Amino acid sequence: MFGALALVSSIMWGTADFGAGRLSTRLPVPAVVGGSQFFGLVLMIVVATATSEWSADLGYLPWGLLAGGLGVAGLMCFYAALASGPNGVVAPITSTGVLMPLLVGVAIGSWPTVTQWWGVVTIMVGLVLTGLPELRSGGSRTAVMLALLAAVFFGGSLTAIGQGSQVSVVMTMTSMRFLVVGGLIVVALRFRTVGGIRRTDLPALSAVGVLDVGANLTYGLSTTFGQLAVSAVLASLYPVVTMILAWWVLREKLRPIQYAGVLAVLVGVALSIGQ
């Protein structure tokens, strides 16, 4: 059950990230994040009302706020990276954020198996192979660095979501989006702009927001049925979806060493599932 939910979340995240990356090529990143998260918040308000979760124990709140803050920082970095570099490079690098829940598990005494440790090593090798050519050429250095920052933020957010979901999955996601949308509304009022969002952008922004919140919900649910580290690893397979869409829609091509790096990252993620 938890494996299927985590895999569904990876499909939705990968699709949302591809769409957000395309939007970020013509709209400011804060506008894409704010617009999509607004629609996500609307959906979560409906879900929270329908499930009567507003009265849930407030133990979820600090985790939801932490996850929201880290999540929006990660999205800012990730969407900016997608807009400035190849999707097929950025997505695998960002997926290494899964290492954080794994390390948190170690810190609290949940030791990974030998296979999972091999997965960690393979992911790191893939990270080097994927990002090194871009760093050496200087062409997409910014994209690589932004992707690394996004990985750190996403890893922290995944960990916090897992903890908050033990109390209430729905309210953890709802509080996340209240924080994000509230903060971005303050910024929009301060600078008196919504970043050039037009009416024609709303369908795409709503699709990204709904997919993102759906991915968060299915991931949060998966952590209540299984181990946090394993759920996070399965959910981190979203780069596969992003890369397939980039290949299909954008006809993106990578250097041979980068294909090897992408494969190593994905193999490492698969190994990390081992028990």
pLDDT in tens, 23-77: 988 888 888 988 998 999 999 999 999 999 999 999 999 999 999 999 889 988 9
Cβ atoms within 10 Å, residue 257: 13
Indicate the SS3 state at residue 139.
coil
How many structural domains are present in the chain? 1
Measured CA to CA, the distance from residue 219 to residue 195 in angstroms comes to 30
List phi, psi (to 5°) of 261.
-65, -45
Measured CA to CA, the distance from residue 182 to residue 189 in angstroms comes to 11
Prediction pTM value: 0.81
Indicate the SS3 state at residue 4.
helix
Question: pLDDT, tens digit, for every residue of 159-202?
Answer: 898 889 889 999 999 999 999 898 888 878 887 777 788 889 99
* Predicted local distance difference test score (pLDDT) of residue 170: 95
Cβ atoms within 10 Å, residue 126: 25
Question: pLDDT, tens digit, for every residue of 201-231?
Answer: 999 999 999 999 999 899 888 878 766 666 7
CA distances 203 to 14, 91, 137, 212, Å, are 18, 24, 37, 14
Question: pLDDT, tens digit, for every residue of 116-144?
Answer: 778 878 877 887 787 666 656 555 678 88
| Residue 266 pLDDT exceeds 90 | no
Could you tell me how many residues make up the chain?
A: 275
CB 48 within 8 A of CB 174: yes
**CB burial of residue 47 (10 Å; 0-12, 13-18, 19+):** middle
Cβ atoms within 10 Å, residue 236: 31
Q: Which domain holds residue 219?
A: 2-271
Question: pLDDT, tens digit, for every residue of 232-251?
Answer: 777 777 877 887 788 788 88
What residues have CB less than 8 Å from 56, skipping those under 6 apart?
167, 168, 170, 171
Measured CA to CA, the distance from residue 51 to residue 112 in angstroms comes to 35
